[in-house]
Amino acid sequence: MVDYLVNLDPNQQFYCLIGGVSVLLFIASSIGWVLKTRLSQQAHASEKSRNTINNLVVRVNAWWVMLAVLVVAFLGGKLGTVILFGAISYFALREFITLTPTRVGDHRTLSLAFFLLIPLQYYLIYIEWYALFTILIPVYAFLLMPCISVLAQDTEHFLERTAKIQWGVMIAIYCISHAPALLLLKIPNYDGHNTLLLFYFLLIVQLSDVLQYVFGNLFGKTKIAPIVSPNKTLEGLIGGGLSAVAVGAMLWWITPFTPLQSAGMAAVIVIMGFLGGLVMSAIKRSLGAKDWGNMIEGHGGMLDRMDSVSFAAPIFFHLVRYFFSA
């Protein structure tokens, strides 16, 4: 079985994965459908259980859409993938800046962040200019954005405004862009397989989120950070995290890793994703919101879905680059 999977060409492996995820989603949809029918037959079903199940169904439906979008982008090759993540960054930054109090003096800086910085960052990935890709935002945007803002001569909360914009740009553009940047890594004996590595990364991050939610709902008792994120429990983290690591280990055949290395990488992704979710939740709350937006039904906004990706992607990228790329 394993030999068979390892020897498939990357395209066939890709379709195996899509098939696998579709089966999972199909099971989830069926469970949702069964629960919904059962509940509608009960006369005394509580409002809460009704809401939980409706939310489950809506979430699973959104997952089908997200999978479809991802597959279409991947079929579009490097260009399709870069455009998809560029759009994700755009919507994520839009949500971040909508909740951030900015002033008229920031207007030009913000326009340029959306319409110059996003295309430029993703263009650098497309042409595989690694050196500039890593410093464009931390060096050039970091210094030039306040230079543009300062020309408006509005000193009120200047540092706070600048810092918040830089945070938004770092998270929504720089960090998220490290996921598609996996395509530009040159890994020995892994030519033409990089899309699979990106798929592996996204699958582990999102599966970890979903499994933590499921385990948390089933067994959750001990809240980890009730003030920041009331839904995160120790039981959810351990159950969901370990399952995601196990899946990561089992998927070693699509990666350049050995099974053990793959488990380790998955563990890093799980931990960074978890912490990212926590930090982004704290930021959201400090900006006075419960969800980043309402773009993805049942999930909230784009950033509610991408918070763990943004924290896990750069670390995963650099670990792979340091230890596995030529």
Partner 1 sequence: MLTHVVRVSLIGLVKLLIGANPRWVEAAPDLRKTPAQSIYFTNHSSHLDTWALWVALPAVMRARTRPVAAKDYWGNGIIKPFIALKVLNAVLIEREASRHRDPLAPLLAALAQGDSLIIFPEGTRRAQAEPGDFKGGLYHLAEAFPEVKLVPVYLDTLHRSMPKGSWLPVPLICTVRFGSAITRIANEHKKAFLNRAREAILKLI
Per-residue CA distances from 153 to 47, 101, 105, 178 (Å):
53, 17, 7, 34
Smallest distance from partner 1 to CB 286, Å = 19
How far is Cα 308 from Cα 275, in angstroms, rounded to an integer? 7
Print the binding letters for residues 240-259 with partner 1: x by CB under 8 A, - otherwise: --------------------
Amino acid at 194: N
CB 208 within 8 Å of CB 269: yes
Residue 299 binds to partner 1 (criterion: CB under 8 A): no
Residue 261 binds to partner 1 (criterion: CB under 8 A): no
Q: Which of 286, 294, 318, 323 binds partner 1 (CB under 8 A)?
A: 294
CB 6 within 8 Å of CB 16: no
Residue 285 binds to partner 1 (criterion: CB under 8 A): no
CB 187 within 8 Å of CB 320: yes
How far is Cα 67 from Cα 72, in angstroms, rounded to an integer? 9
Give the nearer residue to partner 1 in terms of CB position, either 90 or 122.
90
Question: Which pair of tokens denotes residue 258?
Answer: 């050995």
Question: Which pair of tokens denotes residue 159?
Answer: 């540092």
Give the nearer residue to partner 1 in terms of CB position, either 102 or 162.
102
Question: Which pair of tokens denotes residue 325?
Answer: 């790329």
Give the nearer residue to partner 1 in terms of CB position, either 7 or 111.
111
- The footprint of partner 1 on this chain (CB under 8 A) covers a number of residues equal to 15
Give the nearer residue to partner 1 in terms of CB position, either 102 or 243.
102
Task: Give, as ranges, the residues between 4 and 63 that touch partner 1 (CB under 8 A).
Answer: none
Give the nearer residue to partner 1 in terms of CB position, either 302 or 315.
302
Helical pair 194-219 and 10-41, crossing angle rounded to 10 deg: 20
Strand partners of residue 296: 300
Smallest distance from partner 1 to CB 301, Å = 9
Q: Name the 3-class secondary structure at 233.
A: strand
Task: Give, as ranges, the residues between 62 and 121 that touch partner 1 (CB under 8 A).
Answer: 90, 94-95, 97-98, 102, 104, 107-108, 110-111, 114-115
Give the nearer residue to partner 1 in terms of CB position, either 21 or 97.
97
Give the nearer residue to partner 1 in terms of CB position, either 114 or 219.
114
Q: Which of 293, 309, 311, 314 binds partner 1 (CB under 8 A)?
A: 293
Enter the DSSP assignment of 300: B
Give the nearer residue to partner 1 in terms of CB position, either 6 or 116.
116
Q: Name the 3-class secondary structure at 296.
A: strand
CB 183 within 8 Å of CB 125: yes
Residue 162 binds to partner 1 (criterion: CB under 8 A): no
CB 175 within 8 Å of CB 311: yes
How far is Cα 121 from Cα 33, in angstroms, rounded to an integer? 42
Smallest distance from partner 1 to CB 94, Å = 5
Site for partner 1, rule CB under 8 A: 90, 94-95, 97-98, 102, 104, 107-108, 110-111, 114-115, 293-294
